[in-house]
A = this chain, B = another copy of it.
Amino acid sequence: MRPERGRSALGPALELVHTGRAPTRAVLTAELGVTRATAGAVAAELAALGLITVDSRPAAAPGHQGRPSHGLSVNPDGPVVLAAQVHADGFRAALVGLGGHIVATAPGCMTVPADPAHVLAAVVEEGAELLRATGRTCVGAGLAVPSAVAEPDGEALNPLHLAWPAGAPVRRIFHECLTGSGIEFAAAPRAFTGNDVNLAALAEHRHGAGRGSAHLLCVATGHRGVGGALVLDGRLHTGSAGLALEVGHLTVNPDEGLPCHCGGRGCLDVETDPLALLTAAGRAPGPEVSLLQQARELVRDEYADPAVAAAVALVVDRLGLGLAGLVNILNPDRIILGGLHQVLLAAAPERLRAVVADRSLWGRSGGVPVLECTLDHNSLVGAAELAWQPVLDDPLGVLEG
């Protein structure tokens, strides 16, 4: 007779194990603020659901007297979610377990047709193949797209780099593909969609450089354009209509800025993206590889060239000004940079941090740490987080109710 205790503490406990903050039952007890009896029952319940594993043999910690605690970990053979990412160059599908662990990856595809229904059907087909091959059970699906996403149908509001129609109800289409795919879900099929930078921020918050942050700001450049994301107290802040953190049009070069399609001049978007760096360095962009790739290689291979270093310094100054503006508005406790911005930070960390500190108003918040992303495929893992969320909120409700 399984203990029926701990229903309401079940979700928080699973989240603690999922994010690696509860390596043993003892710290689980402390983190939950409950008695050992409750924590033990909760862990047993989660283990019975197949979500976590409790070590049979306790691991003795050195320099620690008293009875050693049994280790807790995410069940490596447990259920998975289907995670996918669509970007300008193609798409990628994977199965992701708890803990943000990528279990299996599909080869993906390098061309994205204009019709979202065809792309998502292909994504789901690859996911179904992965599920067949691995025999895992699936509890949900998440999709990252390079666009702001609105309620209630997951409309992609500005899929500028995909040649998709603006406003395409991506989540609804994704959901329809899933129901028609023959994939068996543990519960009803749940489809989620989010902006890629938002999801990258969520993944970094749970498993990467953003761990423990209460006010996490993430800014990233992909191939063109700048995206931002804010994770407040562990929850993604997408604004009232999914349009928050559209930070690309902060003015960062008022004097001699390039014109921007938004009508302004000197926007963060056109001043700090890969094309801006290449132009500043006097390089003409080639057609072979992506602009991001060209810019990344320029910094990696030719930073010794004074013209390249000057271009990096220029773009870093613009980026710093934009980040300082965001610091004044959002007052984050940590900033994480991805894409080209991550490359720029790696190339000139002191300069970027100094600009952010100098141009944000109060020195105290100017001391905000600016870090690089540390997670591979963070948008993909973030899409998985979205799909895991109902399980984290109410494990019993999803897997049994």
With known contacts A254-B251, A254-B254, A254-B265, A243–B364 Cβ distance under 8 A: yes
List of B residues within 8 angstroms of A331 by Cβ:
238-246
The listed residue (B249, B257, B265) touching A328 by CB distance below 8 A is B249
- A137 interface residue, CB < 8 Å from B? no
Q: Is A1 an interface residue (CB 8 A)?
A: no
A222 to chain B, nearest CB (A): 17
**Does A263 sit within 8 A of B, measured CB to CB?**
yes
Chain B residues whose CB sits within 8 angstroms of the CB of A214 once the complex forms: 240
**Residues of chain B within 8 A of A244, CB atoms compared:** 329-331
Nearest neighbor of A228 in chain B, beta-carbon distance: B329
> Which residue of chain B has its CB nearest to the CB of A328?
B246
Which among B255, B332, B359 is the interface contact of A263 at CB below 8 angstroms? B359
Considering only residues 242-272 of chain A, those with a C-beta below 8 Å from chain B are 242-247, 249-251, 254-255, 257, 262-266
Q: Does A246 lie within 8 Å of B329, measured CB to CB?
A: yes
With a cutoff of 8 Å between Cβ atoms, the chain B residues found around residue A239 in the complex are 215, 330-332, 365
Say whether A46 faces chain B, with CB atoms less than 8 Å apart. no
A361 within 8 A of B: yes
A11 vs B65: C-alpha distance when bound (angstroms)? 43
Asked if residues B329 and A247 are in contact (CB atoms below 8 Å), the reply is yes
Chain B residue contacts of A250, Cβ below 8 A: 325, 329
**Complex Cα gap A326–B329 (Å):** 8
Contact A361 B262 (CB under 8 A): yes
Interface contact B245-A329, CB-CB below 8 Å: yes
CB distance from A219 to the nearest CB of B (A): 11
Contact of A243 (CB < 8 Å), options: B228, B242, B361: B361
Q: How far is the CA of A232 from the CA of B264 in the complex (A)?
A: 29
Query: How many Å from the CB of A384 to the closest CB on chain B?
Result: 25
Known contacts A232-B232, A362-B157; is-contact A254 B266 (Cβ 8 Å): yes
- Chain A residues in the interface with B (C-beta under 8 A): 148, 150, 157-158, 214-215, 228, 232, 237-247, 249-251, 254-255, 257, 262-266, 325-326, 328-333, 359, 361-362, 364-365
